[in-house]
Structures are given as structure tokens and as C-alpha cells.
């Protein structure tokens, strides 16, 4: 006997049968059982049941996404928070093909539902749908053709992918036909790194096509902030990724891939010393920094300049983490948290030191 | 971290030994320092000289904070 | 210059009365071996020997280096004559953590898939160093003890008849087919101070590099490891002794390519020195008239800059590159993997995300300085679970993302 799966399906006003563009402003409603493409979903896998269908107007969701999503979550809550036996295993949305507003609705709903209730959610779109760029990193999006003629194929991709996620099986973009999420994952290759390197080199020498195993990343840019008008009146803060912490490492910041940053008082401190501070950075020879931590976080020189009036004032704390195999994601989080504290204290200028 | 602090609206100077990394990840005001294990010092120098070197680097950083820039700038 | 490497196949490792090879079993006289290791170095305060074999429920921690036992049986200097090797055997040296980066080896379970030394017969040499010694001296004592142990062990192979002999010639003495593309190997060594150094013929790699190194010298163990930087992507001495890229290139030499030579380069701590090393390395590759080059890296973070400088320099000089790197993409794989990048780095081989977490099952036997277990890089304060299992990042495992291309692990987008 096959396992049965319970699915909640989301459709826009058109596929949900409410009407065309004139109904695009329709508020979300929840109806029992499958509608339109939902019937195909039920037929595609034996034992699968579409419990209910959530229908929303394209504009209603795309124009005020945050509020509409909240409204929909409230509608769905009884169904996801009910008794175990009745709880859905999976949320499917679309397919949205190349429809931008519909895509945004599907992406936003999948993201919200998987975040709130921790169940897998899958949608399906044409790769150039603008919603793909918005949601592919967080949501599994099965790849479809650009219009409704690809409906059968879209269902054949979206449903099995969803079930694989329910069963916690691992998925690959080319095998499961979803749009790559940009996540890096370890797998086993048939050949060693050395063999693959030589193979790629021969391909390059012969002018054959080859595929880099790590395409170069594109880093985002921030517009430079305007200059500080006069440092003699400005409040300066010190931040370091060089792992300088009070002796004993009170926050237990990791030597590599730091999971936190620390905030340490320097209010009455004129300089750091080998008795008071140390490095916990695992990526460089610690001898120099432990001998004199000012070599990484130049508090002594900053205090000197402050006393001479070259710096208005110094923020009473400094912030430190270890920038050693620490992910950009973590660094962003620490940066945001530190920025918030500094802004609250009226800091205008920051000296960030790295090793 | 540099970018997030700048995004929040503060002027930030990144003092680092390996400038290309800062340029790649997107630092805007960059002051090159001495070496990875001792960005603001040099154990081969005598105490007062090392301190003077450190002070000059901090001064350079302060100057960078006061300088208008159009894009990524390395303050040699 | 011709080098012969003679392999003695070893299938088991036991303690016994006399250090020798009996059939295909290597017997080690524990007491005599300990005595010999301690003699001449009074900085060694304590010494422990243990055996760790594939499949055992054994975890070795705070590993400093791994060395293949070799002895010179004929010829006067490195790179010539004959060297005998105890195949499948490794000396694993371990000692107290001085930095943060010493790693572990599991002999069974999920972790065993990730280290080449989970598959070797290991003589584990745990060294306790006199307490007053400064860190540099501490590391030197442990490093030398490991190398000495490997040398002593290999004496058992001196008079034996090898099952297999490999021959390595100097590349420039071989006639290259004129039509074959010339391929060089650019070999990056970490050279950044305590726990971050490498040695070429006993000399610190911070000096005298970049340089061209003759193949027989390289294959005869010219490079030793002095670093414990992240366990996953440090090259142990064993890795240097068995560099898979050199083997691959040598095997394909005069088949589809002409192996033009090996350039060693370092990874200094100052930007100006990085740029100078990169410039010189590019010049040396050009003197080999290479059409293409493979670049291997050691470590991560700032060495990414060294690698990118080399790639840019070579591609701009018209030399095609393929470079090996590991990744630090966060445990969920969602972060930027490298600290530095350049558009010219179009051909990269990725040998794995070192941040990916792995749950290592509890082991019956733990070898090494146990109190330091949770201080390993890639371990967290909460890594050690109640039942003795250990949740770590791959970077805590020796050789798991080796950037010489030892393994089949790779990282890809999903």
C-alpha cells in the first residue's frame, strides 16, 4: 500500500477559476479539494490528495505582498496547526510559467509557509520569470516552459520534487529539474581533484568547452558614504576581524568560522597589553599579536590622537570577531548588529582592522 | 562587516594587509597595513619607531575618513 | 639524476620483539623505538606510541603531521639513487595544541571517508614537550620527532626487495614531442610563521622561493610540512611525498602533454611580498615555455589572494591555468566561498566545502592529548556530545579538502 501525501495547493484567480484580469484584485480564499491544475497534481501520483486550494488575485498579492502573505498565513493556520493526522505534508504553488506577478505570489507564499511551519514548499516557473531572481535561493522552483502549454511537464516536475523533499531525499538541479539555488554542497566525483584538474587543462588546451567547478562570484557593492566633515568633532569606533579579545576569550569566539562577535569595554583603557588581551584568530602566526595586541587593534595610537584632539571621541567599546573561514553570511550579520549599536551611540566613523 | 556598517550610514575605513581581498569584497576606503600577523606594527622595529609607524597608519585612516571618494579608493 | 622509489607492501602493523618486516607485517619494538626517538633530544618529556589501523574504533586528535616512512638505500643525496618506502604505513605525530588548527583522524565511521590516513596503518607518536619551551621550539620538537620516527621505521625496509620500483628522471633530460603542449605545475606552499610554515630541503619556504625544483628531488621527499593550519587543507609531509598532481602529470608526460616542470612558490604575509612572489613565479613558468599550468594551493583566506595573483599574471601572459581550491561556503553552503576572486579564474577545480558539518560517531579509543579535543578548529564549544560523538566541520579532519587533489570530494551548486 502506498503512502498517502496531503498537499495544499496555491493558484491565482485565473487558474483557480475566479476569472481573468478583472479579478486580479481578488482577496485570498481557501476552498476544499483541488481546482484546475490541482486535479492534474492529484492524478500525477497515486495516493496524493490535494486537501485544499488557496486562490489569490495576482495584484492583491503582488502589490502589497507582506500584508497579503500575512492574511493568507492566517487563512492557512487552522489547516497547519490542526491535529497531526490532518496536517499537510507539502505546499505546492503554481506553476506560474512566465507570469511575473503570479510568480511573486507563489514565491512569497512558499517562502512564508516553509519558514512558519517548516514543511517543504515548491513552486514552478520559467527560468526568466522575474520572481526567480527573488526566490530561487530560498525556494525550490521547478523549471517550466514559458506558457501554459508546458502544464503537464510542469506538474510532472513540481510534484515529485516536492515529495522528494517531504521524504528528505537529496536533490540535484539537473536530475530533479529545478532551478539551481546557488547553494554549495559537497558530493563525490568519479575522479580525484588531480585527475579532474588535468582533464580540464587538456580540454582548455584543445579549445574544448569545459565547466569550472567554482564560477567566480559577483560581490555586491555599497555606495561610499560621504566623508566625515571633521574628525576632530567626530565619534570614532573600533572594530576588528583580527580576533583580539580579552585574555581567556570570555565569549569563546571560535578560531575559525566564528559563530559570534564580542563587545569589549575600552572606556578606561589607554592601550592593550599582552596581559590584558590576546588573539584567538587561527589563521595567522599569533606571536606578534599576543606580544602586543595594539599591532592588530591600535588602541594606543588612537588614544594618543584622541588626547591631542585629532579625534572627537572614542566609542566606549570595541567589537571583535575572527575573520578566518568565517562565512560572508555570518560577517554580514555581525556587521549589521554592530552597526545598529554604533548608530545608537552616535558614532559617525569606524576604523575596521583586518589581518 | 565593512559593507554592512557603511550601508547603515557610517563612514568606515578598512585597514588591512591584503588589499585585493578588500577590493574584491567591496571595501570603499582602504588603508593598506604592514603584514597579516601585525597589520599595525612591525616586530623588527624598536619600540618607539614601531609606535610611530602605528600612529602614522591611524593618521592615514583618519585622513581617509575625511576624504570624499567616488568609488573604491586605496590610500597608499 | 635518476631516482628509484622501491615499495615494500605492508598489510599489517603490530608491536613485537624487534623492529622488522615479517612477511607483509611490520613489527615495531616499542621500547627500543621509544628509546631511540627520545635519545638526543632532552626537550622530549614524554612519548607515547600507539597503533591505529583502518576499521578500528579509534580517533587520533591534535595531529601535527603525517609522514610516509622512507629510507635512502643507495645514493648520497636527496633525489638520486634508491629510496625504499613502506607502503600503506604512516607515522602520525601529535601533541598539545599550540595554535588552533591541529586536526583529527578517525579510523572508522563517517569521518574515515574524509581522510587518506583512515586507510593507512598508522604508528601514532604522541610527544609531550618540556613545559617551559616557547611555541616555535615546541613545534620543532614534535615535527622532528615525527620525521625521525618515520626514518627509524623505514630502516626495516632497507634490505628488502621491493615489490614495485618507480623511476623518476629529470624532466629536461627527456625528449619532448615538439607538437605536444607544454604543461607546468605551480606548487604553492604556506609560509607564514608559527604553525604556518613549510620546508624545502630543510629550509623554511619563506626564503629562496619561488624556484624551479627538479622532479626527482620533489619525489624524494624534499618538502616537509611545518604547519598545522586548518587540518582539512594543510598538506602534510605525506601529501608532499605523494603529490597526486605530479604523479598525474608524469603519467601523461609525452602522451597528450609534455610535463615542462615544477615551480615552487610561497604564500607570504605582506602584500608586496605576495606580488613579488607571484611576479617571479610567473616569470619562472615562462622560462619553462609552458602553454598551460596547474596551480595547487595550501590553506585558505589570504592564500586565495596569492592564487588569484598567479592566475591573473599567467592568463595575462597567455598561459592557460587550471587551479585547485577548496571552499568556505558556510555550513549551509549559502555564503561566498573564497576571500578573493578574479575574472580570469575561469577554470577552477573545487575539492569541497570545508564548512560542511559532519557528525562523527563516538570512538572506543582516543589517541592524542584528549583535553584539547574541543579546541580543534572547526569544532565548537558544544561539539562534543554526551555520548562521545563529535559534531565538527570537515575542516577539523586531516586532509579532507586537500588542494593537491588527493580526493574525489568536490563541491557543486545545488
Interval C144-180: pLDDT, tens: 999 999 999 999 999 999 999 999 988 864 555 568 9
Q: What's the start-to-end Cα distance of chain C, in Å?
A: 49
pLDDT for residue A306 is more than 90: yes
Q: Which of C192, C309, C340 lies at the smallest CB-CB distance from B36?
A: C192
**CB-CB neighbors (< 8 A) of A330 in chain C:** 330, 335
* The predicted structure's pLDDT at residue A193: 98
Contact between C322 and A188 using a beta-carbon 8 Å cutoff: no
Most confident of A276-290, C103-117, C184-198: C103-117
Subunits in contact with chain A (3 or more CB pairs closer than 8 Å): B, C
Interface probe for C, chosen from B20, B35, B39 (most Cβ of C below 10 Å), is: B20
Q: Which of C269, C304, C309 lies at the smallest CB-CB distance from B37?
A: C269
Residue B3, domain member (yes or no):
no
Interval A164-204: pLDDT, tens: 999 999 899 999 999 999 999 999 999 999 999 999 999 99
Confirm or reject contact between C302 and chain B (CB < 8 A): yes
* The predicted structure's pLDDT at residue C377: 63
* The predicted structure's pLDDT at residue A48: 94
If pLDDT is split at 50, 70 and 90, which confidence band does C388 have?
confident
Residue B5, domain member (yes or no):
no
Reference A286, options A298, A276, A296; nearest CA is A296
Confirm or reject contact between B24 and chain A (CB < 8 A): yes
Interface probe for B, chosen from A238, A288, A300 (most Cβ of B below 10 Å), is: A288
* The predicted structure's pLDDT at residue C175: 57
Coil/strand/helix, residue B31? strand
Interval C319-376: pLDDT, tens: 999 999 999 999 999 888 998 999 999 999 999 999 999 999 999 999 988 776 666 6
Residue B2, domain member (yes or no):
no
Find the closest chain B residue to A286 by CA distance: B37
**What number of C-beta contacts closer than 8 Å exist between A and C?**
229
Query: Which member of C62, C71, C94, C228 is catalytic?
Result: C228
pLDDT for residue A5 is more than 70: yes
pLDDT for residue C95 is more than 60: yes
Show Cβ contacts of residue C343 under 8 Å, excluding neighbours closer than 6 positions. Answer: A216
The domains found in chain A, sorted by start residue, are: 5-176 (3.40.50.2300), 231-353 (no CATH)
Residue A187: its H or E element: strand A184-188
Burial class (CB in 10 A: 0-12, 13-18, 19+), A249: middle
Confirm or reject contact between C187 and chain A (CB < 8 A): no
Q: How many domains does chain B have?
A: 1
Mean pLDDT of the region A331-355: 94
Phi, then psi, of C257 in degrees rounded to 5: -150, 170
What is the SS3 string spanning chain C? CEEEEEEEECCEEEECCCCEEECCEEEECHHHHHHHHHCCCCCEEEEEEEEECCCCCEEEEEEEEEECCEEEEECCCCCCEEEEEEECEEEEEEECCCCCCCEEEECCCHHHHCCHHHCCEEEEEEEEECCCCCHHHHHHHHHHHHHHHHHHHHHHHCCCCCCEEEEEECHHHCCCCCCCCEEEEEEEEECCCCCEEEEECCEECCCCCCEEECHHHHHCCCEEEEECCCHHHCCCHHHHHCCHHHHHHHHHECCCEEEEEEEEEEECCCHHHHHHHHHHHHHHHHHCCCCEEEEECCCCCHHHHHHHHHHHHHHHCCCEEEEEEEECCCCCCCCCCCCCCCCCCCCEEEEEECCCEEEECCCCEEECCHHHHHHCCCEEEEEECCCCCEEEEHHHECCCCCCCCCCCEEEEEC
Please give the class, per CATH, of domain C171-356: alpha beta
- Where are any strands of DSSP class E within B1-76? 11-16, 29-32, 73-74
Mean pLDDT of the region C15-26: 95
* The predicted structure's pLDDT at residue C375: 66
If pLDDT is split at 50, 70 and 90, which confidence band does C100 have?
low
Residue with cell 574628525: A231
Burial class (CB in 10 A: 0-12, 13-18, 19+), A201: buried
* The predicted structure's pLDDT at residue C201: 86
Interface probe for A, chosen from C260, C349, C376, C378 (most Cβ of A below 10 Å), is: C349
Mean pLDDT of the region C273-302: 95
Q: How far is CA A336 from CA A171, B3, C6, C267, in A?
A: 33, 9, 59, 32
Sheet order of strands, A140-143 included:
A29-32, A48-56, A5-12, A90-97, A121-125, A140-143
Domain limits for position B41: 11-74
Contact between B36 and C340 using a beta-carbon 8 Å cutoff: no
Burial class (CB in 10 A: 0-12, 13-18, 19+), C402: buried
Interval A103-151: pLDDT, tens: 999 999 999 999 999 999 999 999 999 899 899 999 999 999 999 999 9
Residue B61, domain member (yes or no):
yes
Q: Within chain C, which residue ranges are assigned CATH 3.40.50?
A: 171-356
C-alpha cell at C147: 620525521
Q: Among B8-22, C72-86, C215-229, C252-266, whose mean pLDDT is lowest? A: C215-229
**CB-CB neighbors (< 8 A) of B60 in chain A:** none
Tell me if residue C228 is catalytic: yes
Q: What is the mean pLDDT of chain A?
A: 93
* The predicted structure's pLDDT at residue A1: 40
Contact between A219 and B43 using a beta-carbon 8 Å cutoff: no
Q: How far is CA A46 from CA A37, A41, A159, A166, C143, in A?
A: 16, 10, 11, 16, 64
Interval C35-92: pLDDT, tens: 999 988 889 999 999 999 999 999 999 899 999 999 999 988 899 999 999 999 999 9
Amino acid at each position: 500500500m502506498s503512502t498517502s501525501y496531503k498537499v495544499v495547493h496555491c493558484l491565482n484567480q485565473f487558474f483557480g477559476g475566479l476569472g481573468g484580469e478583472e479579478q486580479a484584485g481578488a482577496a485570498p480564499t481557501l476552498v476544499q479539494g483541488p481546482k484546475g491544475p490541482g486535479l492534474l497534481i492529484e492524478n500525477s501520483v497515486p495516493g496524493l490528495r490535494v486537501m485544499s486550494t488557496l486562490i489569490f488575485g495576482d495584484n492583491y498579492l503582488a502589490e502589497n505582498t507582506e500584508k497579503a502573505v500575512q492574511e493568507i498565513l492566517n487563512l492557512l493556520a487552522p489547516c497547519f496547526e490542526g491535529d497531526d493526522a490532518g496536517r499537510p505534508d507539502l505546499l505546492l504553488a503554481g506553476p506560474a510559467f512566465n507570469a511575473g506577478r503570479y510568480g511573486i505570489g507563489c514565491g512569497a507564499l512558499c517562502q512564508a509557509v516553509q519558514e512558519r511551519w517548516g514543511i517543504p514548499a515548491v513552486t514552478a516557473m520559467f527560468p526568466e520569470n522575474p520572481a526567480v531572481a527573488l526566490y530561487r535561493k530560498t525556494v525550490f522552483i521547478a523549471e517550466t516552459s514559458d506558457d501554459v502549454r508546458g502544464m503537464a511537464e510542469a506538474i510532472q516536475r513540481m510534484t515529485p520534487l516536492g515529495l522528494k523533499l517531504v521524504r528528505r531525499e537529496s536533490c540535484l538541479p539537473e536530475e530533479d529539474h529545478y532551478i539551481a539555488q546557488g547553494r554549495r554542497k559537497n558530493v563525490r566525483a568519479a575522479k580525484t581533484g588531480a585527475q579532474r584538474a588535468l582533464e580540464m587543462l587538456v580540454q582548455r588546451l584543445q579549445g574544448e568547452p569545459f565547466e569550472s567547478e567554482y564560477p567566480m562570484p559577483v560581490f555586491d557593492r555599497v555606495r561610499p558614504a560621504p566623508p566625515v566633515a571633521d574628525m576632530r568633532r567626530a565619534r570614532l569606533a573600533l572594530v576588528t576581524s583580527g580576533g583580539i579579545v580579552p585574555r581567556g576569550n570570555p565569549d569563546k569566539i571560535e578560531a575559525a568560522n566564528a559563530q559570534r562577535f564580542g563587545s569589549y569595554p575600552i572606556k578606561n583603557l589607554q592601550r592593550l597589553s599582552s596581559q590584558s588581551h590576546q588573539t584567538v584568530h587561527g589563521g595567522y602566526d599569533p606571536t606578534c599579536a599576543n606580544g602586543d595586541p595594539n599591532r592588530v587593534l591600535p588602541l594606543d595610537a588612537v588614544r594618543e590622537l584622541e588626547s591631542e584632539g585629532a579625534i572627537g571621541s572614542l566609542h566606549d567599546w570595541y567589537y571583535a570577531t575572527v575573520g578566518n573561514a568565517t562565512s560572508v553570511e555570518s560577517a554580514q550579520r555581525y556587521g549589521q548588529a554592530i552597526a545598529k549599536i554604533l548608530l545608537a551611540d552616535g558614532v559617525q566613523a569606524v576604523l575596521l582592522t583586518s589581518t | 562587516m565593512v559593507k554592512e556598517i557603511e550601508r547603515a550610514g557610517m563612514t568606515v575605513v578598512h585597514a588591512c594587509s591584503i588589499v585585493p581581498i578588500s577590493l574584491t569584497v567591496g571595501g570603499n576606503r582602504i588603508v593598506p597595513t604592514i603584514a597579516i600577523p601585525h597589520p599595525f606594527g612591525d616586530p623588527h622595529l624598536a619600540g618607539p619607531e614601531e609606535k610611530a609607524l602605528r600612529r602614522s597608519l591611524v593618521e592615514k585612516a583618519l585622513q581617509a575618513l575625511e576624504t570624499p571618494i567616488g568609488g573604491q579608493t586605496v590610500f597608499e | 639524476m635518476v631516482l628509484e622509489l622501491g615499495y615494500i607492501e605492508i598489510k599489517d602493523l603490530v608491536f613485537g620483539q624487534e623492529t622488522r618486516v615479517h612477511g607483509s607485517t611490520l613489527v615495531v619494538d616499542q621500547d627500543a623505538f621509544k628509546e631511540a626517538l627520545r635519545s638526543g633530544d632532552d626537550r622530549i618529556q614524554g612519548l607515547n606510541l600507539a597503533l591505529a589501523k583502518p576499521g578500528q574504533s579509534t580517533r587520533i586528535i591534535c595531529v601535527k603531521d603525517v609522514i610516509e616512512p622512507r629510507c635512502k638505500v643507495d645514493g648520497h643525496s636527496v633525489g638520486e639513487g634508491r629510496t625504499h618506502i613502506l607502503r600503506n604505513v604512516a607515522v602520525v605525530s601529535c601533541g598539545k595544541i599550540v595554535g588552533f588548527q591541529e586536526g583529527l583522524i578517525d579510523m572508522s565511521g563517517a569521518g574515515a571517508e574524509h581522510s587518506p590516513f583512515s586507510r593507512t596503518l598508522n604508528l601514532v607518536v604522541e610527544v609531550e614537550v618540556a613545559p617551559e619551551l616557547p611555541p616555535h621550539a615546541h613545534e620543532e620538537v614534535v615535527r622532528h620527532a615525527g620525521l625521525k620516527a618515520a626514518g627509524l621505521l623505514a630502516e626495516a625496509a632497507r634490505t628488502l626487495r621491493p615489490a614495485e620500483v618507480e623511476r623518476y628522471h629529470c624532466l629536461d633530460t627527456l625528449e619532448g614531442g615538439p607538437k605536444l603542449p607544454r604543461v607546468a605545475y605551480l606548487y604553492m606552499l604556506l609560509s607564514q610563521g608559527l604553525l604556518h610554515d613549510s620546508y624545502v630541503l630543510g629550509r623554511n619556504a619563506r626564503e629562496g622561493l619561488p624556484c624551479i625544483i627538479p622532479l626527482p628531488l620533489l619525489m624524494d621527499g624534499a618538502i616537509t610540512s611545518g604547519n598545522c593550519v586548518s587540518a582539512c587543507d594543510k598538506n602534510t609531509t605525506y601529501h608532499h611525498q605523494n603529490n597526486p598532481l605530479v604523479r598525474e602529470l608524469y603519467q601523461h608526460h609525452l602522451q597528450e602533454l609534455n610535463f615542462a616542470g615544477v615551480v615552487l612558490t610561497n604564500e607570504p604575509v605582506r602584500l608586496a611580498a605576495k606580488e613579488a612572489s607571484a611576479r617571479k613565479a610567473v616569470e619562472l613558468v615562462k622560462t619553462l615555455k609552458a602553454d598551460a599550468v596547474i596551480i595547487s594551493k595550501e590553506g585558505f583566506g589570504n592564500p586565495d589572494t596569492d592564487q588569484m595573483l598567479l592566475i591573473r599574471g599567467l592568463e595575462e601572459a597567455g598561459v592557460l591555468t587550471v587551479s585547485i581550491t577548496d571552499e568556505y561556503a558556510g555550513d549551509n553552503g549559502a555564503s561566498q566561498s573564497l576571500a578573493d576572486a578574479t575574472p580570469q579564474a575561469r577554470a577552477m577545480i573545487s575539492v569541497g566545502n570545508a564548512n560542511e558539518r559532519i557528525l562523527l560517531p563516538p570512538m572506543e579509543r582516543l589517541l592524542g592529548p584528549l583535553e584539547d579535543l574541543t579546541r580543534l578548529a572547526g569544532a565548537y564549544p558544544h561539539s562534543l556530545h554526551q555520548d562521545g560523538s563529535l559534531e565538527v566541520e570537515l575542516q577539523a579532519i586531516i586532509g579532507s579538502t586537500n588542494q593537491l587533489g588527493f580526493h574525489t570530494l568536490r563541491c557543486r551548486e545545488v
